[in-house]
Amino acid sequence: MFRLITIGISAVVCIGPTVSVANPATTPSGRLTGKTQISFGCPGPTTEPPSCNPWRPFAHARFSLAQRASRGDPIPGTRRAVASDARGRFVLRLPAGSYLITPLPQQNTHGGTPVIVHVRAGESTITFVRFEGFPQME
């Protein structure tokens, strides 16, 4: 009788790890990676083809991110503030879909032009979030 009980317990221990509970449905997601940049313009006119690249990394830049509905409007309750790191970079894991990125006013800038990005499941999307700095060089 003692042997039978031991075998029964062993069978339960061996079967237990192979049984799994079905995972709930997960939302397909992708990555949004990017850089925040700021421009104060180029110093003076030049006679050469565009030799000035006015865009510089913008550390700790803040922008808002909101998921967009199929008609293009931001989905209520999905807006959040995001900040880039000390090198002006960011990486976000997001549900697949369309997003509106809006550069926010902060020191040395009034913000910038909003950007629309599309995040695809299992893929990485790259974007630039650009801020117009002030004062501008002429």
CATH number assigned to the domain with residue range 24-132, chosen from the 4 options 2.10.210.10, 3.40.50.170, 3.40.50.980, 2.60.40.10 = 2.60.40.10
pLDDT tens-digit series, residues 3-51: 444 444 333 333 333 333 333 357 899 999 999 999 998 876 666 666 7
Calpha distance 9→17 (Å, rounded): 14
Distance set, CA 115 to CA 8, 36, 92, 103, 138 (Å) = 63, 12, 16, 9, 25
What are the residue ranges spanned by the domains of the chain?
24-132
Share of the chain above pLDDT 70, in %: 75
